[in-house]
Amino acid sequence: MGQQSPIVYIPASVTNIEEGAFSSYATPLIITTSGSTAEQYAIDNGINYEIVDSWEVPET
């Protein structure tokens, strides 16, 4: 059974995502910008994603 599924913010500046990077999660959600490496990674790997123009990093 996978870990709790995360919401992951991936900026356009990320140009490489390792194959299987989210394989330990059942249903991760990637938040990214249109045309980014993260968007294509999500499409290619059947991962849920949302496109945004920009975001503020939530405080922890």
Residues facing residue 48 across a β-bridge: 29
**How much is the pTM?**
0.82
Q: Which residue has the tokens 């123009």?
A: 53
List the domain boundaries for the chain: 1-12+24-60
- pLDDT class of 54 with cuts at 50, 70, 90: confident
Region 10-16: mean pLDDT is: 96
Q: Give the count of beta carbons closer than 10 Å to the beta carbon of residue 14.
A: 13
Model confidence at 1: pLDDT above 60: no
